[in-house]
Amino acid sequence: ETLSKIRQITSAIAKALIVSGPMNMQLIAKDNELKVIECNLRVSRSFPFVSKTLGHDFIATATQIIVGQKVEPINVIFGDGKVGVKVPVFSFSRLAGADIQLGVEMSSTGEVACFGENRHEAYLKAMIATGFKIPKNNILLSVGSYKHKMEMIGSVRQLHQLGYKLYGSSGTSDFYQEHGIPVEPVDWVFETIGE
């Protein structure tokens, strides 16, 4: 259903903008709700990545369209069985004095792209490629809203079952302990800011 909506949205925007070549559109999706967060009438670094992920040479197709050759529509929205993921690379540890607090603007200095059999495998590969180290013993959790805590409950329970010692901000710790998962509270210096 989500892929069908993506096709409808991209087709409608391409027709409205009278696009005859490649365009770069980024959407976010959750629970079949989609939002367009960016649309550029140009190609980007994502173009070869999408080609490789979906198993079609979009650069060759775009070139044919640009030079006026007739190109038949292709149906690649379901790809060829692999999942591609890109994750940002942050250089905080290499830039002395860099502000490590992230906002809505892009603060990464690069990105890593990886492929996998599913989104979990691709994402884990990409995270490891950025230098992320999988914790060996302890994990600190600070999960915002009740909704997000509920969404994470299965994963947090699994981390406990895998033998990790879990720590959390007071609200996070209280929530998971109420649900039978031992999460040791830690003093969280920033919890009272803004009160």
Among 13-22, 36-45, 100-109, which stretch is predicted with the lowest mean pLDDT? Answer: 100-109
- Output the CA–CA distances (angstroms, integers) from residue 15 to 30, 44, 191, in the order listed: 25, 20, 48
CB 156 within 8 A of CB 183: yes
Q: Is 43 exposed, middle or buried (0-12, 13-18, 19+ CB in 10 A)?
A: middle
160-183 confidence digits (pLDDT tens): 999 999 999 989 999 999 999 999
Pick 7 or 125 by higher pLDDT: 125
Position 101 pLDDT exceeds 70? no
- CA atoms of 49 and 115, how far apart (whole Å): 10
DSSP classification of residue 45: T
Average the pLDDT over 103-116 and give the result: 74
CB 166 within 8 A of CB 160: yes
25-34 confidence digits (pLDDT tens): 888 888 888 9
Angle, vertex CA 99, rays to CA 96 and CA 103, nearest 5? 150
- CA atoms of 54 and 81, how far apart (whole Å): 8
Give me the phi and psi of 39, to 5 degrees please: -145, 120
Indicate the residue type of 95.
L
- 98 dihedral zone (left: phi>0; alpha: psi -120 to 50; beta): beta
Tokens of 84: 């591609």
- CA atoms of 178 and 168, how far apart (whole Å): 13
Position 191 pLDDT exceeds 60? no
37-87 confidence digits (pLDDT tens): 988 887 777 788 888 888 889 889 888 888 989 988 888 777 778 889 988
Position 92 pLDDT exceeds 70? no
List all residues 6 or more positions away from 65 whose beta carbon is below 8 Å from its beta carbon: 20, 21, 71
- CA atoms of 106 and 46, how far apart (whole Å): 16
Pick 53 or 93 by higher pLDDT: 53
List all residues 6 or more positions away from 30 whose beta carbon is below 8 Å from its beta carbon: none
- Is the pTM value of this prediction over 0.95? no
- CA atoms of 182 and 184, how far apart (whole Å): 6
pLDDT value at position 107?
61
